[in-house]
A and B are shown apart, each in its own frame.
Chain A
C-alpha cells in the first residue's frame, strides 16, 4: 500500500487527485485566459486592438500633423513616403501645363507659365507658416497617406477618426450595458407586473428597425456628439436587458440570495451587491462582442451625415467624405476603409475567442 507522504509534507489546504498529484484551483478568468492564449487568431486580434488603442491614446504626442490644419494649396495630394508636398505640388502643376501645351500643340511654355513655375519653386523653398507656435517651412511637409479636399493630412485624420470611433464604441457600449443591467435585473428580480411591462416594451422596441429610430432621434435632437451617444445608448440596451434578466432569473432563488434576504437586505442591495457581481463575467464578454457593432452603428450614422461632423472625423465620416471623388482620389477611400475593416476584423476575432474561452462547456479543456 502506498502512503500519502512520499518524502514531502503536504500543505493543509492542498487538493490532490486520485494519483496524488497536487491540483491547483483555477479561477474562471485564469482558465479562460489560458484557453484564449491557445487561440492564435484571437491573440492576433488582441495584439492589433492593443496597438490601435495605444496609437489612438497617444495621438496628441505622436509626430503627426494636426488633423484640422488646412493648407489649401495641398489639396488632394497623393500619398508619398519620400517626396514632400512642395515637390508633389510642382509636379502636378507641370503636368497640367504639359497637358495644356499638348492640347494647344506648342512645345514651349509661355512666359506666364514659366513665371508661375518659378514662383512655386521659390515658395517651396522660402514660404513658412506658423503651426502650433513653431515656424516651419510649410511645403516641406510630407503626407504619408495623402491629403483631403481641404489639404488636411489623411494619416492624422485617420488616427484622430479612430480615436473618435473607438471612444464612441467604448463609451457607448458601457452606457448601454449599464442601462441594460439596471433594467434587466430589476425586471428579473422584481418579476410580476413590472417584469411584464418592461419586457413588453422591449418586445415592441425589438419590432422596430432600431437603426431607423436612431436616425429619427438624431434628427429630432440635433447633431452633436452627446446626442449621438444618447441616441445610440437609448436603443441598444435591449439585448443586454434580456440577457441580464435571464441570468437574474436563474440566480435569484439560490441559497446565498435567500441568506441575504433572511438577514434583511433590501432588494436593491441584493440586486447590486449579490446578483450583479455574479453575472459580470458574462456581461463583460457580451460587451466585447458589442463594441464592433457600436463602432459600425456610429460610422453608419456618420456615413449618412447624421453623426460626427467637421472638423472632427470618424472612420465613417472619412469614408463618406471620400465617396464623391473616389476615382480621382482613391486613397481617400482606401486608407480609412482598410484601417476600419482591419480593426473590426480583429475585434471580431477577439470577441469570438473570448466567447469560446468563457464558454462554461469548455472549462478545464485545453
Chain B
C-alpha cells in the first residue's frame, strides 16, 4: 500500500512537468507580447524592459529559469502590475477560493449523500420524486442563473442576506452562505442522483440481505453495510466534481464579488497578462492533480477488491 502511494505520488511529477512545459510554450508563442502598447517605445526602453524580464535570453535558458522559479514558489513578475510578483497575487487570493471551494464540496457531498439515501429508501414516493426533481433542476440550471436569482430573492426582495461582500468585510460569515449554496448546487444534484442509484444497487445485494436476516437494525445496516458499498461511485465522482468546482468558482466569485483566484484569472485573461495566466493555471492543475491523487488513495482504502502491487 505504502509503495502504491509513493509510486502514485511520484507519478504526478511528469504530468505537472508536461503542464508547465505546455504553459511555457503557449505563453511564448501567443501573439501580442506583454509590452505591445499603443504608444511606441524607443528601442532602448524596449531592450531594457526585455532585459529586466529576461526575455533577451535564449528559450531553453528562459525555460530553466522559469522552472527553477516555480520549484521555489516563484512565478516570475507580473507583466501588467510591475510592482508585484505573480506569486504575491496568487497566494493572497488563493485562500479565499480554497475556503469557498472546500466548503462547497463538503456541503455538496454530505447533503448529496444524505438526500440520495433518503430518496433511495423511499423509492417511488413523493419524497423520492421531489428529491430527484430538485436534482434535475440542479443539473440543468447553470450556476450563473442560480446565483443571480438567489441574490434577487434573498438579498434584494426579502433583504435577509447581504448582496455581496466577503468574510473579511463587515458582514462576516453570513456572506459565505449564498456563494456556497450556488457553487455546491450542481454537484449536490449529481451526487444525490449517483448515491440514490448506487444505494438502490447495493440494497438488493446478498450481503445486505444477510445483514437483515441477522436482525440488525435499519440504521446499522445503512451506516455500516450499505453506505460503504455505495460510497465507491461517489468517491470516484469527487475528482471531476472538484474540477467543476474550480471552474464554477470563477463565475461565483464574479457574481458575488469575492476577491478569489478565479476573479483574478478572468481579469488577467482579458488583460493578456501571460505570466499571471500561466501561474494560475499551474496552481489550479496542481490542486486538481493532488485532489485526484487523494481520491485514488481513498478509493483503494474503501474497496478491498482492488490490490495495488
Interface residues of A (CB under 8 A from B): 203-204, 207-209, 211-212, 215-216, 218-220, 292, 296, 299-300, 303-306, 316, 319-320, 322-323, 326-327, 330, 333, 337, 340-341, 344-345, 347-349
CB of A31, distance to nearest CB on chain B (Å): 24
Given known pairs A209-B284, A327-B156, the reply for A215 and B251 (CB within 8 Å) is no
- Give residues 267-293 of B contacting A (CB, 8 Å): 269-270, 272, 277, 280-281, 284-285, 288-289, 292
Chain A residue nearest in CB terms to B30: A220
Please tell me if B266 contacts chain A, counting CB pairs below 8 Å: yes
Per the bound structure, the CA–CA distance linking A216 and B269 in Å amounts to 6
Whether B140 lies near A207 (C-beta < 8 A) is no
Per the bound structure, the CA–CA distance linking A212 and B262 in Å amounts to 10
- Determine the chain B residues whose CB is within 8 A of the CB of A316 once the complex forms: 144
- Determine the chain B residues whose CB is within 8 A of the CB of A209 once the complex forms: 243, 246-247, 284-285, 288
- Determine the chain A residues whose CB is within 8 A of the CB of B148 once the complex forms: 319, 322-323, 326, 333, 337
Per the bound structure, the CA–CA distance linking A304 and B144 in Å amounts to 10
- Give residues 20-55 of B contacting A (CB, 8 Å): 22, 26, 30-32
CB of A51, distance to nearest CB on chain B (Å): 17
Chain A residue nearest in CB terms to B273: A219
Give 14 A-B pairs besides A207-B292, A216-B277 with Cβ atoms closer than 8 angstroms.
A204-B18, A207-B289, A209-B247, A219-B269, A292-B140, A296-B142, A300-B144, A304-B251, A319-B148, A322-B148, A337-B145, A344-B142, A345-B136, A348-B140
- Determine the chain A residues whose CB is within 8 A of the CB of B144 once the complex forms: 299-300, 303, 316, 319-320
CB of B27, distance to nearest CB on chain A (Å): 9
Whether A345 lies near B269 (C-beta < 8 A) is no
CB of B39, distance to nearest CB on chain A (Å): 21
Please tell me if B294 contacts chain A, counting CB pairs below 8 Å: no
Whether B250 lies near A333 (C-beta < 8 A) is no
Please tell me if B149 contacts chain A, counting CB pairs below 8 Å: yes
Per the bound structure, the CA–CA distance linking A157 and B110 in Å amounts to 40
- Determine the chain A residues whose CB is within 8 A of the CB of B102 once the complex forms: none
Please tell me if B137 contacts chain A, counting CB pairs below 8 Å: yes
- Determine the chain A residues whose CB is within 8 A of the CB of B18 once the complex forms: 204
CB of A203, distance to nearest CB on chain B (Å): 8
- Determine the chain A residues whose CB is within 8 A of the CB of B281 once the complex forms: 208, 212, 216
A348 interface neighbour in B32, B139, B151, B152, Cβ under 8 Å: B139
Please tell me if B231 contacts chain A, counting CB pairs below 8 Å: no
Whether A220 lies near B142 (C-beta < 8 A) is no
Please tell me if B141 contacts chain A, counting CB pairs below 8 Å: yes
CB of B84, distance to nearest CB on chain A (Å): 20
Whether B141 lies near A344 (C-beta < 8 A) is yes
Find the residue from A208, A292, A341 having the highest chain B CB count within 10 A: A208
CB of B15, distance to nearest CB on chain A (Å): 6
- Determine the chain B residues whose CB is within 8 A of the CB of A215 once the complex forms: 250, 265-266, 269
B270 interface neighbour in A292, A305, A323, Cβ under 8 Å: A305
- Determine the chain B residues whose CB is within 8 A of the CB of A208 once the complex forms: 19, 281, 285, 288
Given known pairs A330-B152, A344-B140, the reply for A303 and B270 (CB within 8 Å) is no
Please tell me if B255 contacts chain A, counting CB pairs below 8 Å: yes
Whether B136 lies near A348 (C-beta < 8 A) is yes
Cβ contacts B128-139/A at 8 Å (1 or 0 each): 000000001101
- Determine the chain B residues whose CB is within 8 A of the CB of A319 once the complex forms: 144-145, 148
A304 interface neighbour in B149, B250, B284, B289, Cβ under 8 Å: B250
B31 interface neighbour in A220, A326, A340, Cβ under 8 Å: A220
Please tell me if B254 contacts chain A, counting CB pairs below 8 Å: yes
The 10 closest A-B pairs by CB, nearest first: A219-B269, A211-B247, A344-B140, A345-B140, A337-B145, A341-B141, A220-B30, A303-B144, A327-B156, A348-B140
Chain A residue nearest in CB terms to B266: A304
